Structures are given as structure tokens and as C-alpha cells.
Amino acid sequence: MQAVPIGLKRIAMSLGAALLAIGMGAESHAETVRIGAPLALSGALASSGTKQALAYEVWLEKVKAAGGIKVGDKMYDVELITYDYQTDGKKAAQLAEKLIVDDKVDFLTAPFGSGHTKITAGVAERYNVPIIAVASSEPVHDQGYTNLFGTLAPSGGLIDVMIAEFQKAIPGVKRVAVLGREDVFPNLMAKLMADKAPAAGLEVVYAGTYPIDAIDHSSSLAAIKAGAPDWIYVTGYSQDLILVRKQMADIGLEAPIVTMITGPVYREFIDALGPLAEGVTSATWWHWGTDYQSTDVFGSTKAFYDAIVAKTGGAEPDYVHASSAAALVALQMAIESAGSIDRDKVRAALRSMDAVTFYGPIKFRSDGMNSARAYPLIQIQGGAPVIVFPEAVKQADIKAFAGK
């Protein structure tokens, strides 16, 4: 286990935090909001976990600049206690419990990703602690948990938007091949496509999965090529999708539409693939081009964008940064609305929340998921992700992959 990166530690300490070191207890502090966060700062999900940590740091800096969180007529300090769970689900559960029992946090945030969110949400539910998540899989939110709230909207909406818009943009698309990683979110997204496609007039010519640690996709890709699909749809995480795309190129596998969920929204996908990324489409829950004005600590999408760019030295934020920061924004707004850090009151404020933030609308359904809204679709064009839907923020038209 590792403690939070030094930058985050420094900011938390300056807000009145006491102990971030691993293995040490934490004393109770008056007029301090204590938030615990297990993060994947190493291991397979370190890329997303590091973005989550960065988003938390930027939020914390904004809160510090504002003097803390307003609770009733007082300003409270914020202590953010984080640990690296090393992309290990068992450790995620252990650290979530440690944060509640030993570090005495008031609230939790969940790790990035559906699988580990489900694990830590179970711990939070056992201790009746509100937990704010970044997970879009409905199987995570259908457990009957009363303490789980998530900033991402349901995954199913992404599929509906993609099918409708891609069929409209590229007529004649009739055959789809689906390949998904055997993990909670990627598997769900693959199954949703395979299940929804026939109702839209799409023939599913291949539907398969691959193990979490797969490095050779040749048999699946050969079967897909034999099916001659018009649309190739692959789910997984960045490194999976980079590997799949390279192996597609090795065997000359193409189609008018190639979609990967959700790698193309990340800069590392484009950097790793170069020209091979061109034309790949994806869907996302947020894009900095959708500019919202808000009353939260950021004030607007543009201000959040500028804060991330300044912090990273030029890298643009993606939905992982935004949805992670939005989790803490939602928690802060609930605390301020409740005028208390009492868990029951904050939980009630989260349940009744209906707000526009820098991230967009946040209104939690009865299962704790953020209500569905317009999902941006993106395509890599000219070496960068551009918005191809919705019309209000559209940056380019959808182009057929590989010039087809």
C-alpha cells in the first residue's frame, strides 16, 4: 500500500488535515469534513486512478481558495485521506473499511470503474456511509444500496445514441461484430450492443469476449474478419484497445465503422497508436466542448478545463477527470445544502439533488445513478478526438473509417 502522491498530501495538510500516512490512526477534528478515497495509483487501472487523484487535487485547491466548505454559518476545513489499493479489489475493500473504522472519515468516494466501485460500495453500505462513485454500469447500482451515488449516467444510453447516429451518418450499415473484455463495465457494454443491435435492424455476425489478461486477439479478430461486418465494436480499457487496434491492422481488418469503448477519449490511446487511431469512434459521458455555467467551485466547464490544463502542463481533461471532480462537487453541494456533515442529512440532500455543475446536470435516480442526458459521441480526426454529436456542440461530421 502506498500513500497519496505528495502533491495531494501537501494540499490536504494545508487545509487542516492531520494524518495521511499508511497504518496510522486519525484523531477526530472539529469543523473538518473528512473524505476517504481508495485510488488505483498503481496496477492495471493506474492511468484512470491517477487522473482521479489529479481531479481531486484540483477540486481541493479550489475549495482551499474559497476558504473551505460552508456548513451552516461556518467554514469547514477538508481532509482528504487516500490510499493506493494497487488495482486489487480485495485491497480496495480493506482500505475502504480502514478509512471508515480507523481514519474516521465522514464520507467515501469510490475507485474509478464499475467492478471496484461495487466492492467498495458494499463496504460503505455495511457501515451506512454515503459513497460517491464514477461508475455507469447499472448492475453496480441495482444492489439496493441506499448510500451509493454516481456521477456517470447509465451505460445503456450510450448504445442507443451510437446506433441511431452512426446509422444515420453512414447508411447501409447492417452487420455488427462485438468483442468485449470479461470485466464488469466492458462486458456490460458489449452485451448491451449485442442485445440492442437486432432491434435496430443490425445483424450480429460475431459476439465474443476476451479474458482480462489477454494479449493475443488473433482468433477473435480472424472470426470477425470472416463475418465481414460493417461495424466493429470493441470494449475494454486503454491498453486492451490499443492492442486490439494494432492486431486489427496486422491482419487488415477494417469496416466502415470501428468503435472502441472507451479508449479513444484518452490521449494515451492516440499517442500509442498514432495514425492507427484515426477514424476510430467512441462515446463518452462528458467532453470539455459542452460548456456549462455553474455555481460550484469551478463555475464553468471552461474554468475546469483551464484548471486541468494548468495542472498537467497542457493535457486536456477527459471524462475521468471531470466525473471524478464532479463526485466531490456533488458531495460538497450536498453538505452545503444540508448545512451539516451528518450522514443522514447529507444522504437526503444527495437524493434530492437537482443541480447544474461544471460537469453538467446532476440529478440522482432512485438507484443512485445520474439521470440520462445527451451523451457526446467522438471520433479521432486529425489526431484528436472531435465531437460528432450532439448538434449543439458538434465539431465535425462522422467520417467512414479507412475511407470506406
Asked if residue 189 is part of any domain, the answer here is yes
Tell whether 83 and 192 lie within a shared domain. Answer: no
Q: Which residues of the chain have pLDDT under 50?
A: 1-29, 403-404
Residue 368 resides in a domain:
no
Condensed to tens digits (0 to 9), the pLDDT of residues 260-271 reads: 998 888 888 999
| 302 domain-assigned | yes
Q: Which domain holds residue 113?
A: 2-153+288-362
At 286, list the grid cell: 462528458
Return the SS3 of 141.
helix
Look at residue 288 in the predicted model and tell me its pLDDT: 85
318 and 190 both lie in a single domain:
no
Note whether 184 and 104 are same-domain residues.
Answer: no
- The domain total for the chain is 2
Distance CA(1)–CA(22), nearest Å, equals: 7
Residue 55, all three cell numbers: 481531479
Same domain, 394 and 275: yes
Same domain, 195 and 292: no
The verdict on 149 and 160 lying in the same domain is: no
In a domain, 367, yes or no: no
Residues 383 and 240 grouped into a single domain: yes
Q: Are residues 163 and 278 in the same domain?
A: yes
Full 3-state SS string of 232-283 = EEEECCHHHHHHHHHHHHHHCCCCCEEEEECHHHCHHHHHHHHHHHCCCEEE
pLDDT tens-digit profile of 303-322?
A: 999 999 999 999 889 889 99
Q: What is the pLDDT of residue 30?
A: 62
Q: Spell 141-159 as b/e; 16+ CB within 10 A means b.
A: beeebebbbbbbbbbbbbb
Residue 390 lies in a domain: yes
- Same domain, residue pair 239 and 383: yes
Same domain flag for 160 and 149? no
Tell me whether residue 270 is in a domain: yes
Please indicate, yes or no, whether residues 60 and 180 belong to a single structural domain of this protein: no
Q: Is residue 370 part of a domain?
A: no
Supply the pLDDT for residue 155.
75
CATH number at residue 210: 3.40.50.2300
Pairing of strands 281-283, 377-381: antiparallel
The answer to whether 74 and 30 are in contact (CB under 8 A) is no
- Asked if 305 and 383 sit in the same domain, the reply is no
Does residue 16 lie in a domain region? yes
What sign does the CA torsion over 315, 319, 320, 321 have? positive
